Amino acid sequence: MVRILVTGGAGYIGSQMTDLLVRRGYKVSVLDNLSTGFRDAVLDAELIVGDFGDQNLLSDIFEKYKFDAVMHFAASIEVEESVREPTKYYQNNVANSLTLLDAMVAHKVNNLIFSSSAAVYGEPEYVPLKESNSKKPINPYGRSKMVIEEVLSDYDKAYGLKSVSLRYFNAAGADPNARLGPRHEPASHLIPLVLQTASGRRNAINIFGTDYPTSDGTCIRDYIHVVDLCTAHLLALERLFNDGKTDVYNLGNGNGFSVLDVIETAKKVTGRFIKIVKCVRRLGDPAVLVANASKAQQTLEWKPQFSRLETIVEHAWQWEQQTKSHQKT
């Protein structure tokens, strides 16, 4: 049986990935320090509580299990926080990742799926973004992801460690059956914040910047359903096992929606009033990020199921209603 180590597997995306791997017949061990993840989000896999930057723990884990691959989701991800606290991002996303990679090399685990980000592009030269676009990140979060992508290229040449870096655009939505979903506290991503406002858990939604060079002055982003995101990861893993080629792919829907578009869609889905508050721009936010994901669609034969913004918001709304209900009880 193929055995996978999932770092950050108790978090939003990692838990969905773990669930998919288990359902597809993989043996999965999750490594998560539970700083932002949740024990009960690991449904049917072994949970090892610890830090992926702990060299001794990694050595013990890799000695105990013979992993066929690692899927690495354990990163700090808040752009604004990365501008305020770059040390945290370079320590966790870069230094700790190097510790993980060195443990893989030492124990001859030669396959890695890396959770990268569209933040590596910075302000795009053109949209939709292709993998060949220049990488000019404008915040420490994006730079931390870019550094590891470059490291992975070097580790392939030097040590034969093969990897696929997947550049996410905006992961959103929840499990269609509402078993798993976003649980960041406090929430920081747009769709959960908007829906918390609709459900009454939040008084208003802040719009950071209404003077961007876009049709309505608000930022435009490409939203990808978390289930589609995980499906792409599985396809990338299987391709890595088959052809052993280091590569990089964009993961997005190719459609851009502004902050106001998302709010209007949420109003339609929920039937609720959503109060907005206009604020100044945040540091490190590009105006437009939209993916050209044709490479993943063609090479990995990836076909997103939930590409409509309404569907993404509907699944997130089911999760939000359930979350609010559980808080009451």
Whether residue 85 is found in the same domain as residue 151: yes
* Cβ atoms of residues 257 and 309 within 8 Å: yes
Active site residues: 141
- 288 and 147 co-located in one domain: no
Assess if residue 262 is contained within a domain. yes
To the nearest 5 percent, what fractions of the chain are helix, strand and coil?
45, 20, 40
Q: CA 96, CA 99: separation in Å to the nearest integer?
A: 5
Q: Is residue 185 part of a domain?
A: no
Residues 158 and 231 grouped into a single domain: yes
Same domain, 145 and 271: no
* Domain membership flag for residue 124: yes
Give me the pLDDT at residue 67, please.
98
Tokens at 178, concatenated: 């509402």
| Range(s) of the domain holding residue 116 | 3-172+224-251
DSSP 36-97: S--GGG--SSEEEES-TT-HHHHHHHHHH---SEEEE------HHHHHH-HHHHIIIIIIHH
Decide if 179 is inside a domain: no
For residue 180, being part of any structural domain is answered with no
Residues 120 and 37 in one domain: yes
CATH classification at residue 52: 3.40.50.720
Q: Are residues 133 and 242 in the same domain?
A: yes
Please, are residues 95 and 28 in contact by the beta-carbon 8 Å criterion?
A: no
DSSP β-ladder status, 111-117 and 223-225: unpaired
Verify that 268 and 312 share a domain, yes or no.
yes
* Structural contact between residues 12 and 183, judged by C-beta atoms closer than 8 angstroms: yes
On whether both 231 and 282 belong to a single domain, the answer is no
- Residue 120: CB partners within 8 Å, gap ≥ 6? 135, 137, 142, 145, 146, 149, 167
Residue 106 counted as domain residue: yes
pLDDT at 188: 85
Spans of the chain below 50 pLDDT: 329
The residues near 11 (Cβ < 8 Å, ≥ 6 apart) are: 32, 36, 37, 38, 41, 73, 74
Question: Residue 221 and residue 129: Cα distance in Å, rounded?
Answer: 12
| DSSP category for residue 165 | E
State the chain's maximal CA–CA distance in angstroms.
56
What pLDDT was estimated at residue 329?
Answer: 41
Q: What is the DSSP letter of 138?
A: S
Q: Choose among 152, 117, 158: nearest CA to 138.
A: 117
Residues 56 and 161 in one domain: yes
Instruction: Identify which of 265, 284, 287 has the alpha carbon closest to the alpha carbon of residue 127.
Output: 287
In a domain, 130, yes or no: yes
- In 176-253, where do the E strands start and end? 205-208, 220-221, 223-225, 247-251
DSSP line for 297-318: HHHS----S---HHHHHHHHHH
Considering the domain architecture, whether residues 306 and 194 belong to the same structural domain is answered as: yes
290 located within any domain: yes
* CB-based burial label for 324 (10 Å; 0-12, 13-18, 19+): middle
Q: Provide the number of structural domains found in the chain.
A: 2
Terminal Cα distance for the chain, rounded:
41
Indicate if 194 and 280 belong to the same structural domain.
yes
pLDDT in tens, 33-42: 999 999 999 9
Query: Is the same domain home to 33 and 81?
Result: yes
Residue 320 tokens, joined: 């939000």
